[in-house]
Amino acid sequence: MKRINTIKTRDLSKSLGGEACC
């Protein structure tokens, strides 16, 4: 069994310059 399961997420470091309560 894998001890660490990484969920797929957007890499914020690559998201770098505007378009109720991407």
Return residues touching another protein (CB under 8 A). 1, 3-13, 15-22
Helix (H, G, I), strand (E, B) or coil at 10: coil
CB of 10 to another protein, least distance (A): 6
Residues counted in the chain: 22
CB of 18 to another protein, least distance (A): 6
CB of 14 to another protein, least distance (A): 9
